[in-house]
Structure 1
Amino acid sequence: MRLLIISASAGHGHVRAAQALEAYACEMYLEAEIRNVDILDYTAAIYRKAYAASYLKLADRAPELWGYLYNKGDRPSAKKRQAAIIRAFDRIEFAKFRAMLREFNPDHVICSHFLPAQILWPYEGKDWVTFSLNLCVTDYLSHGFWAQPNATRIFANSGEGVEELIDKGIERERVRQVGIPIMPDFGRGYDKEAICAELNLDPQLPTIMVMSGGWGAAGLPTLVASLLEFAPVQVIAIAGRNERMKRDVTKLPVPEGAKLTVYGYVNNIHELMAVSDLCVTKSGGLTTAECMAMGLPMLIPNPIPGQEERNAEYVTENGCALIARSPGSLKYKVKKFLSDPAMRSKMQESARNRGRPKAAETILRTIVSE
């Protein structure tokens, strides 16, 4: 069996979902030939840079504009316009991608971004298009661009997401409600005290994990400082690859009774989630899926309009998260969360119930067996 996994590096979530599918596939199908590619690697540098950077820059610098474009793009007319644009670029920009497909000749194609399906739509029925084409939506609701008529299956992540695809013309029998693919690490049990001992953390303190991005690079030190005011508390701050941000947070004064641990880029995010009681984070599809798989409640500051705002609404409606749209609101909700054990327990249970740690495994078994 030859399995081709395709992502597009337009936002980190699509790539992470593809990596999760690859990790599970390598465990499950030892004799299979598995290839994981970024479709943008087969395009010219200028196209790749423009496509990949468009969302990241707009979401960071003009979130309201991004939200407007996202909602406008959910209309059928917008989907037709984008398909026309893609076809105009297709012959030149995606010739290498098509050549790779013909050479690899996969039995199954799994896409964590809708772009490959858009590219392949005009070639449906060609003698080299003999594979099943499967799309994995990477948010909790289903934007119109995921409703690709040439897809064999589309894996959605909520009942509402399923109905959105059906409303956009996809037959019900081609839609599955499964969950967002996440790495195997998020589906395992962990010993909190052992992890705390290894990482020099205090297992007795209420622990808040803060992932960079919620308030932007400049706001992370302010956010962490406000959380340290809730001593006794332990704050784990993750600055990612931003060394300046890491230094600024590390320099913060720590009140008596509080503990601050600062990380840059980490590979053990699952362990940090396992020892945390609350995660302050953006509401990307992969991050919210990982938190729920770990039974970890979320507090989402200022969700970006568009898919992240819709994800935030989904996890909030299902009792897994709180939304804070101002620093004052964030302080109020953290205080309430820390002071109300029943609330914490209920949110943890809701997150565990909604979590789908084995989604990637289910997706692969469905594709291979049907």
Structure 2
Amino acid sequence: MEPNTRILIIYSTFGEGHVQAANAIKQQFISQGIQQIYMLDLMAEAHPYWNAVTRYCYLTSSALCPSLYGLSYNWSNRLEPDRMFNRWLHSFGKRKLREVIRRVQPDAVIHTFPYLAAEQLGLEMASPLPTFTVITDYVLHSRWVHPNTKHYFVATESLKCELIGAGVNGKRISVTGIPIRAAFENSFQQEDLFGKYKLDPSKKYVLIVAGAFGVLAHVRKLAAAILEDTDYDLILVCGRNQRLANRMAAQYGSHSRIHIFGYVNQLEELMGLSSCMLTKAGGITLTEALSMALPVIVYRPLPGQEKGNADRLSEAGAIQIADHVREVTNRLNQLQQPYHLQRMLHAMKSLYKSEAARSVASEVLQFTYSYAHGNQAYPTLSERKAIQTHGYP
């Protein structure tokens, strides 16, 4: 290990998951003695106006017109990774990235979002940097694939198989799991937390997480049905949707069985007090639930990567999907039966890989050490062009 190693982590604020994965990896580098970690929200830095517009469109379309977002996702997924559209997307921010690389002089670049500018820039450099991609979903989209990526870190063996099917050499893929904050893997005293949040330890709680931006559909209908048709109490996290929080407080503010929160920094504490979580199907959120063995019901997963995540984990028996409010309450009541609960917990345990962030950081350091000492040669420019044309060796 070289203590002067510099790492550049490129992320995006299109959803909280990519940021959290980047921060989890950063903390693991620091714990391993690497202090020079540089975080870059490339789109926000290079094109702040375009970043704000596209981010707004993403959040709006996923909330108000999910079918349109799903069509866009599926269309772009059918494109080959080296098609002009994907190359154009990956080229966003190259000029800014060039400036950052010149200033920071990193030994490696890690992407946690599928705008792979460092990989695209590497095709134009005589001596490119080793670039790594951490896929933060349980399904593959073509935008995650780039011929200049040195190594991929993925959640599951099935996702590794998808990458191999896309032409990536299996030696370039590590099944590490998805990086999450270390807090989710730490133990804590439930008794203290029940007191902190003024909750009753004799009750069973359903945690409804509307997402960081509060876009889970039909929250009020779900809350009413759960309170009426089950004996669970509710913990509702509204994220940054203050309008939702205000509406729910106005309707249920005096109700003894529902507890309303806005954005929560220490969500792991509320998860640790809950018997089940009702949430969106973001890759990070699902991984956090797996880490805590917290049963999950995904309500009406959004088309695109969230539906892919939900379908993949549901097929493995690790979560449940509900498309109707009545189905939610039926599944909640079903989870009170020991057989169904134990079957889900077993599937969750078999799927979850602990300490993913540590594994990613350790492997990146091993690669960079090998490059620094000449044990591995990065492909030449002509070799990388050949990879782009003919596929991976």
Superposed pair shares fold, TM > 0.5 = yes
Partner residue in 1 for 2:12: 8
Percent of aligned pairs sharing the same letter: 26
Q: Secondary structure at the match of 2:233?
A: strand
1:158-197 Cα distance to aligned partner (Å, 9 max, x none): 2221111111111111011111111010111222222112
Are positions 1:223 and 2:227 aligned together?
A: no
Deviation at 1:230, TM superposition (A): 4.2
Partner residue in 2 for 1:19: 23
Partner residue in 2 for 1:71: 74
Letter in 2 for 1:111: H
Aligned counterparts of 2:317 and 2:230: Cα–Cα separation in 1: 26
Q: Secondary structure at the match of 1:76?
A: coil
Partner residue in 1 for 2:194: 196
Question: How many residues are aligned here?
Answer: 362
Letter in 1 for 2:199: L
2:17–2:136 CA contact under 8 A, matched in 1: yes
Aligned counterparts of 1:195 and 1:162: Cα–Cα separation in 2: 38
1:296-354 Cα distance to aligned partner (Å, 9 max, x none): 1101110001100010012211222111111121222122223x123223323332332
Matches within 5 A, 1:34-113: 34-77=37-80, 80-86=83-89, 93-113=93-113
RMSD of the TM alignment (CA)?
Answer: 2.4
1:312–1:321 CA contact under 8 A, matched in 2: yes
Q: Secondary structure at the match of 2:140?
A: coil
Deviation at 1:5, TM superposition (A): 0.8
Are positions 1:248 and 2:261 aligned together?
A: no
Q: Secondary structure at the match of 2:263?
A: coil
Aligned counterparts of 1:282 and 1:21: Cα–Cα separation in 2: 23
| Regions of 4+ moved over 3 Å | 76-79, 213-218, 251-256
Letter in 1 for 2:219: L
Correspondence for 1:320 among 302, 318, 321:
318
Matches within 5 A, 1:208-219: 208-213=206-211, 216=215, 219=218
Task: Pick closer, same or farther for the CA change 1:84–1:194 going to 2, 3 Å.
Answer: closer
Letter in 2 for 1:196: F
Aligned counterparts of 1:255 and 1:242: Cα–Cα separation in 2: 20
Tell me the TM-score normalised to structure 2 length: 0.85
Task: Pick closer, same or farther for the CA change 1:247–1:9 going to 2, 3 Å.
Answer: closer
Structure 1 unaligned residues grouped into runs of 5+: none
1:53-103 Cα distance to aligned partner (Å, 9 max, x none): 34323222221121122122122347513234347x65xx53122111121
Matches within 5 A, 1:1-370: 1-29=5-33, 31-77=34-80, 80-86=83-89, 93-115=93-115, 117-118=116-117, 120-124=119-123, 126-127=125-126, 129=128, 131-213=129-211, 216=215, 219-230=218-229, 232-252=231-251, 259-338=257-336, 340-370=337-367
2:207–2:270 CA contact under 8 A, matched in 1: yes
Letter in 1 for 2:360: I
1:118–1:148 CA contact under 8 A, matched in 2: no
Q: Secondary structure at the match of 1:229?
A: helix
Partner residue in 1 for 2:380: none
Tell me the TM-score normalised to structure 1 length: 0.90
